[in-house]
Amino acid sequence: MADMREPIESGCPDPWQYLHPTMRKNFGQWKYHEHPRPGVLLHVAYSGDKIWTVKAGTQRILDVFTLRKLCDIGDQFADGYVHFTLRSNIEYMVNDETKVQPLIDALEGAGFVVGGTQNSVAMISHTQGWLHCDIPGTDASGVVKSMMDELIDEFRNANMPNRVHITTSCCQINCGGQGDIAINIQHTKPPKINHDLVANVCERPSVVARCPVAAIRPAMVNGKPSLEVDERKCICCGACYPPCPPMQINDAEHSKLAIWVGGNHSNARGKPTFQKLVAAGIPNNPPRWPEATAIVKRILKAYKEGARDWERVNEWIERIGWPRFFEEVELPFTKYHIDTWRGARASFNSSTYIRF
Amino acid sequence: MAIDKHITPMLDQLETGPWPSFISGIKRLRDQHPDARINEMTNDLLGQLEHSYETRKGYWKGGTVSVFGYGGGIIPRFSEVGKAFPKSKEFHTLRVQPPAGNHYSTGMLRQLADSWEKYGSGLVTFHGQTGNIMFIGTDTQNTQHFFDEINEYGWDLGGAGPCVRTAMSCVGAARCEMSCTNELKSHRMLVNNFVDDVHRPALPYKFKFKVSGCANDCQNAIERSDFAVIGTWRDDMKVDQAEVKNYIADKGRQYYIDNVITRCPTQALALNDDNTLAVNNRDCVRCMHCLNVMPKALHPGDDKGVTILIGGKRTLKIGDLMGTVLVPFKKLETEEDYESMVELAGTIIDFWAENGLEHERCGEMIERIGLANFLEGIEVEPDPNMLSHPRQSSYIRMDGWDEAAEAWFERQAEAGK
């Protein structure tokens, strides 16, 4: 151990050194912003200083060649500073308006996509999927690449009623997070248990404790200590799979995609909202997932046509009502849309508010 | 040198279409990178990924990998099909904490890229959903080497496992007029006071800090963090009436009635006959909508601070929880102000570490023991801002009412109300 190096526990680095000088100078002194064109923001400080931000979408999983290309563009046009957004877009800041168009041209020329500002369909937030996760029901980067290929015009423009945040997740942990539209794995069969491995691999009491519906209990199977699942109680959530990989939840046929809508993190106009189930049973169909994309596009089309200015997806539906939503997007309404979890009663309509 | 390239007909279909392709990027590493180690590693990675696409299954499993002195920060990945794809059979990710607000110089990004291609696959993401830079793909030995190298020039691992996780903050005061606080400072003060809890997982489950400069909450703090800090203000909103008139001259009176006045969630706004805006600041809940529509005319007030909410999280295990208001308003001006916020976070983490069950998030513990008991445990007095409305169930024993009511009046008197 003598040659082992002690870590320097420096934690989160100070960003001050990485701020564009105009941002450093006007820190906390910004006055207003404008949106000169999609993909570009203009911020004006009380000092009179201006800074233009050009935002671009990338493949998110960056190879070092792509990262260096992004750096080259930053060096050439943006004084060597960049900022990454929450949704993994890259932003370049320039304090000279004449640099904006050449910067856009350089980004587009190199294959990146300028957009993602204001009322656009923003970059889909996602994580790893089959590329790196230990529990994924699907891929994330592939789903996102396939969908963004089809939604690229909505990313490049900003003509939705309000911004649209799409997320995707490969299990119910939902790393992608709440979204105006969320495309998430929904398993439909209980885990398949490899009883030979459970005793050696899984800490059985913790696995029992993980189950949200107490469907797992210790059992002896073929003379070995294992776990069994009460399949009538099991909700196929997959919570047992991470602590106990022999309880395989992913299934090539029965792990489906579900689509949820109306998640909204902002407090603007209303309190933040969680997303609601609208479609399920969608095939998990690599490499292009056309069925899921088709539904997303139907929802976006109905929203774009039907929502008023500033209405997010949840607000649009709240105004037109769920019956009309299902009608407009041509999705079936089923008993599975009726919540059964704790607090479900709060989602029932206890009034005569019915639209005809 | 020539490598035996895996055939990837399914992945190849992700190279068509206008959006940048991550598959093309991985292939560039396979085909063009000068280091044979990277060519071989990414080739086998593509092989395994194609296998996943064909069989619709993932083939990574976790394990135990860390760096010397730490217990977390690495996402270990061992392949279950390593025999077929041996060069990527160990493919760990290092979670590295970004600078607060995700600002970088290209010089620093190049330095990180140089280090990463020495030891890793050459694949990196800015950023994962917890907020880390994800350096994706290296073996156990190189995990240590890469960390040692970048740790020397200022980079540290983030959290993984049951620990304080890497924090996130919005671009904030650096470039946004809506910012009501110094997001970068809160972010670093909070997470850097818990480095031990970041690096050595020993808590019931994960604990996340997120900071947004205003109620637009661009960091999704209320829904995605255990400790959400949201900028706000408590004096009057600033109104530049000349700019209000300019907006109306531009888009018309009807537009602003439909999109500002009637969209105010508490009907705190009215449009006067002379096209000036009337604001009832007592009713305003600082939702940010009207400021978003008229950023030139409307601005946060001067008496800025933050609201702190506790306990947001996603589904597992009891269902989705938004954070709950714990501190309706807190000034963050002096060092003491910031220190008292860190102290509050410490009190909450300690209480949760003692009372939380294994794999129980802070919000789930609050749900189980009750908000009132949680408040008592961390010695925070109840406040009506914490609720949407008071209780509607009469099933409660209330023989301590008189004392509680008296304590309320005493606190009000102390606060000079």
User: Where in chain B are all domains bearing CATH 3.30.413.10?
Assistant: 168-234+304-414
The reply to whether B49 touches chain A by the CB within 8 Å rule is yes
Separation of alpha carbons B320 and A173, rounded Å: 10
The reply to whether A158 touches chain B by the CB within 8 Å rule is no
B14-36 core/surface letters (b: 16 or more CB in 10 A; e: else): beeeebbbbbbbbbbbbeebeee
The fold for domain A129-188+252-337 equals Sulfite Reductase Hemoprotein; domain 1 (3.30.413)
Residue B231 has pLDDT above 70, yes or no: yes
Chain B residues with CB-CB distance to A142 below 8 A? 11, 14, 53
Residue A3 has pLDDT above 90, yes or no: no
CA distance A335 to chain B (A): 19
Q: What CATH number does the domain located at B1-158 have?
A: 3.30.70.2500
Fold match, A16-114 / A192-248: yes
* Per-residue CA distances from B234 to B180, B240, B278, B303 (Å): 11, 18, 17, 6
Tell me if B19 and A145 make a contact (CB, 8 A cut-off).
Answer: yes
Q: What is the pLDDT of residue A2?
A: 52
Phi, psi of A112 (to 5 degrees): -85, 170
The fold for domain B238-299 equals Alpha-Beta Plaits (3.30.70)
Residue type (1 letter), B300? P
Q: How confident is the model at residue B1 (pLDDT cuts 50, 70, 90)?
A: low
The reply to whether B103 touches chain A by the CB within 8 Å rule is yes
Over residues A304-310, the mean pLDDT reads 98
Residue B316 has pLDDT above 90, yes or no: no
Q: What CATH number does the domain located at A16-114 have?
A: 3.30.70.3340
**Residue in A5, A11, A141 nearest the CB of B156:** A11
Phi, psi of A149 (to 5 degrees): -55, -35
Residue type (1 letter), A215? A
Residue B319 has pLDDT above 60, yes or no: yes
* Per-residue CA distances from B264 to A310, B60, B268, B344, B360 (Å): 12, 49, 7, 33, 37
Query: B25-29 long-range contacts, Cβ below 8 Å, gap at least 24?
Result: B25/A59, B25/A61, B25/A62, B25/A63, B25/A65, B25/A66, B25/B123, B26/A61, B26/A63, B26/B123, B28/A63, B28/A65, B28/A66, B29/A63, B29/A64, B29/A65, B29/B121, B29/B122, B29/B123
Tell me if A61 and B147 make a contact (CB, 8 A cut-off).
Answer: no
User: Where in chain B are all domains bearing CATH 3.30.70.20?
Assistant: 238-299
The reply to whether B166 touches chain A by the CB within 8 Å rule is yes
- Each residue of B327-380: pLDDT tens digit? 999 999 999 999 999 999 999 999 999 999 999 999 999 999 999 999 999 999
- Each residue of B387-398: pLDDT tens digit? 999 999 999 999
**Residue in B97, B103, B155 nearest the CB of A83:** B103
Which of B224, B226, B214 lies closest to B285 in space, CA to CA? B214
Which A residues 161-220 touch B at CB under 8 Å?
172-178, 206, 209-210, 212
DSSP, residue by residue, B130-167: TS-EEEEEE-HHHHHHHHHHHHHTT--B---SSSBPPP
Separation of alpha carbons A258 and B390, rounded Å: 36
Mean pLDDT of chain B: 97
Chain B residues with CB-CB distance to A270 below 8 A? 265, 287
On the CB side of A274, CA atoms within 13 Å amount to: 15
* Per-residue CA distances from B114 to A95, A172, B117, B118, B206 (Å): 29, 36, 6, 7, 32
Q: What is the pLDDT of residue B111?
A: 98
Over residues A269-296, the mean pLDDT reads 98
- Each residue of A199-245: pLDDT tens digit? 999 999 999 999 999 999 999 999 999 999 999 999 999 999 999 99
* Per-residue CA distances from A143 to A87, B12, B115, B380 (Å): 15, 14, 30, 45
Which CATH number among 3.40.462.40, 3.10.450.50, 1.20.1260.10, 3.30.413.10 corresponds to the domain B168-234+304-414?
3.30.413.10
Mean pLDDT of chain A: 97
In chain A, where the domains are located:
16-114, 129-188+252-337, 192-248
End-to-end CA distance of chain B: 79
Tokens encoding A314 = 């949840």
End-to-end CA distance of chain A: 75
| Predicted interface score ipTM higher than 0.85 | yes
Q: Reduced to 3 states, what is the DSSP secondary structure of residue B193?
A: coil
Q: What is the pLDDT of residue A127?
A: 87
Over residues B236-247, the mean pLDDT reads 98
The domain A192-248 having CATH identifier 1.10.10.10: the answer here is no
Return the percentage of chain B with pLDDT > 70, whole number.
Answer: 100
Residue type (1 letter), A149? D
Close Cβ partners of B344 (under 8 Å, ≥ 6 residues apart): B308, B326, B327, B378, B380
Q: Beta-strand (E) ranges in B198-356?
A: 209-212, 227-233, 238-239, 269-271, 277-279, 298-299, 304-310, 324-330
**Residue in A16, A137, A268 nearest the CB of B292:** A268
Separation of alpha carbons A146 and A149, rounded Å: 5
Separation of alpha carbons A304 and A164, rounded Å: 10
3-state secondary structure chain A: CCCCCCCCCCCCCCHHHHCCHHHHHCCCCEEEEEEEECCEEEEEECCCCEEEEEEEECCCEEEHHHHHHHHHHHHHHCCCEEEECCCCCEEEEECCHHHHHHHHHHHHHCCCEECCCCCCECCCECCCHHHCCCCCCCCCHHHHHHHHHHHHHHHHCCCCCCCECEEEECCCCCCCCCCCEEEEEEECCCCEECHHHHHHHCCHHHHHHHCCCCCEEEEEECCEEEEEECCCCCCCCCCCCCCCCCEECCCCCCEEEEEEECCECCCCCCCCECCEEEEEEECCCCCCCHHHHHHHHHHHHHHHHHCCCCCCHHHHHHHHCHHHHHHHCCCCCCHHHCCCCCCHHHHCCCCCCCCC
Residue A319 has pLDDT above 70, yes or no: yes
- Each residue of A47-69: pLDDT tens digit? 999 999 999 999 999 999 999 99
Residue A1 has pLDDT above 90, yes or no: no
- Each residue of B48-77: pLDDT tens digit? 999 999 999 999 999 999 999 999 999 999
CA distance A103 to chain B (A): 15
Q: What is the pLDDT of residue B2?
A: 77
The reply to whether B251 touches chain A by the CB within 8 Å rule is no
